[in-house]
């Protein structure tokens, strides 16, 4: 048994740092030393207590991570202690209708590791070897914590089937929206990012992205001018706001595709007449598969994703709560990482 530190969510707004004992990895498993763990919007929802019905407390959160293997279980031949890895945090049952149809990432009984089972905000973390994704030795481990959200963006751009030369409007310039904009641009699309926060717009501008401010601009009008009256080929709804849904419909041209990425827990009003009139398509996009993850490793490693600009703050494991506070109070923040003391 090894004793190390873990951060546990024990109820609304409470994170406790304490010792944790880890048994050696079993057959098919590996033990990791997480180096950096990103905090995402879902972690924040859990922290607020909004997902207490789903998480089993005390819960170790964290699913955006990078780290190194410390021990491998019996029968593992492809991996060795010291290997740099990230984890695709999904486990599926393999026999539900989604799995049978080849869409295991949206299994009817999906186990999202870090939400439904223990995550990476700890100094030792045992996971099935099948979840590992190899990192190139040249990739810094802090940057590599962005691979998971980048895989989301790769999946979304793929679902929307963005083509070179297409005009794309991304609504919502949080980490996911910015990553979608960057991935779409790397595929040859022309991109406009719509974001309310001055800080996030200026950060996107430093990445060379053109932005629009919905507080001061009529976005539908801007999109119409930009496309000489035609409307955009693709929009992404990544804001989670009702106004974002309206905008994502209004900016589209004939046969435009709206890719829905944000989580809208409640039903939203949608201008269906516009869908009929312009023959629009609505595409849902959830999570990623292994191909998306592997492409994301490449995009972070080759600098398409400028990790140094996206990472606003890194806090030590014992101060994990301050990472949640930083995101919660909003302000000038994009991505916050927790450093587990292993890097």
* Residue 261 binds which entry of ligand NAD, Zn ion, none, CB below 5-8 Å type-dependent: ligand NAD
Q: What binding mask, one character per residue, do residues 123-162 give for ligand NAD by CB under 6 A, x or -?
A: -----------------------------x----------
Window contacting ligand NAD (CB under 6 A); options: 6-14, 201-209, 224-232, 281-289: 281-289
Candidates 262, 301, 305, 337; binder of ligand NAD (CB under 6 A) is 262
Of residues 33-62, those binding ligand NAD (CB under 6 A): 40-41
Cα 18 from Cα 1, distance rounded (Å): 16
Choose between 110 and 129: whose C-beta lies nearer to ligand NAD: 110
- Please state, in angstroms and rounded to a whole number, the distance separating the CA atoms of residues 74 and 56: 29
| Residue 92 binds: one of Zn ion, ligand NAD, none (C-beta under 5 to 8 A by kind) | Zn ion
Q: Which one of residues 96, 270, 282, 321 is an interface residue with Zn ion (CB under 5 A)? A: 96
Measured torsion, CA atoms of residues 141, 146, 147, 152, in degrees rounded to the nearest 10:
170
Q: Under rule CB under 6 A, how many of the chain's residues touch ligand NAD?
A: 28
- 42, 281, 304, 312: which one is catalytic? 42
What is the C-alpha to C-alpha distance for residues 114 and 92, in angstroms, rounded to an integer? 14
CB 224 within 8 A of CB 231: yes
As to burial, measured by CB atoms within 10 angstroms (0-12 exposed, 13-18 middle, 19+ buried), residue 57 is: exposed
Across the chain, where does the E strand assignment appear? Answer: 2-11, 14-22, 29-38, 64-72, 84-87, 90-91, 111-112, 125-128, 132-134, 167-171, 190-194, 210-212, 232-237, 252-260, 281-284, 311-316, 335-339
Q: Which of 197, 211, 295, 342 binds ligand NAD (CB under 6 A)?
A: 197
- Could you say which residues in the range 98-127 bind Zn ion, by CB under 5 A? 99, 107
Sign of CA pseudo-dihedral 177, 213, 257, 98:
positive
Is 45 among the residues known to form the active site? yes
Given 89, 231, 244, 253, the residue binding ligand NAD (CB under 6 A): 244
How many other CB atoms sit within 10 Å of the CB of residue 209? 20
Selection from Zn ion, ligand NAD, none that 297 binds (CB < 5 to 8 A by kind) is: none
Other beta carbons within 10 angstroms of residue 279's beta carbon come to 9
Which residues make up the interface to Zn ion (CB under 5 A)?
Answer: 92-93, 96, 99, 107
Which residues make up the interface to ligand NAD (CB under 6 A)?
Answer: 40-41, 152, 171-177, 194-197, 200, 214, 238-241, 243-244, 261-263, 285-287
């Amino acid at each position: 048994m090894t004793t190390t530190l873990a951060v546990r969510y024990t109820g609304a707004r409470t994170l406790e740092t304490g010792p944790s004992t880890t048994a050696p990895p079993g057959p098919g498993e590996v033990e990791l030393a997480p180096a950096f763990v990103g905090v995402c919007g879902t972690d924040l929802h859990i922290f607020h207590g909004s997902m207490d019905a789903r998480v089993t407390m005390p819960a170790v959160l964290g699913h955006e991570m990078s780290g190194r293997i410390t021990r491998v279980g019996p029968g593992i031949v492809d991996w060795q202690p010291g290997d740099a890895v990230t984890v695709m945090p999904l486990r599926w049952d393999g026999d539900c209708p989604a799995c049978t149809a080849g869409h295991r990432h949206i299994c009817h009984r999906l186990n999202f590791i870090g939400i439904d089972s223990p995550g990476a905000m700890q100094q030792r973390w045992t996971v099935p070897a099948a979840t590992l994704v190899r990192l190139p030795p040249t990739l810094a481990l802090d940057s590599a914590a962005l691979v998971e959200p980048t895989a989301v963006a790769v999946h979304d751009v793929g679902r929307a089937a963005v083509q070179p030369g297409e005009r794309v409007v991304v609504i919502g310039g949080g980490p996911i929206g910015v990553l979608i904009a960057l991935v779409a641009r790397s595929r040859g699309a022309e991109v406009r990012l719509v974001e309310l926060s001055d800080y996030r717009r200026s950060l996107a501008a430093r990445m060379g992205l053109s932005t629009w401010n919905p507080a001061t601009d009529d976005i539908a009008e801007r999109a119409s001018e930009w496309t000489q009256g035609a409307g955009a080929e693709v929009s992404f709804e990544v804001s989670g706001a009702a106004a974002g849904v309206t905008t994502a419909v209004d900016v589209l041209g004939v046969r435009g595709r709206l890719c829905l990425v944000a989580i809208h827990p409640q039903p939203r009003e949608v201008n269906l007449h516009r869908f009929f009139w312009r023959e629009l398509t609505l595409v849902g996009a959830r999570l990623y598969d292994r191909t998306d993850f592997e492409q994301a490793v490449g995009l972070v490693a080759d600098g398409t994703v400028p990790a140094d600009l996206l990472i606003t703050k890194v806090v030590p494991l014992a101060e994990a709560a301050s990472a949640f506070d930083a995101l919660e109070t909003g302000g000038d923040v994009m991505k916050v990482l927790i450093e587990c003391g292993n890097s």
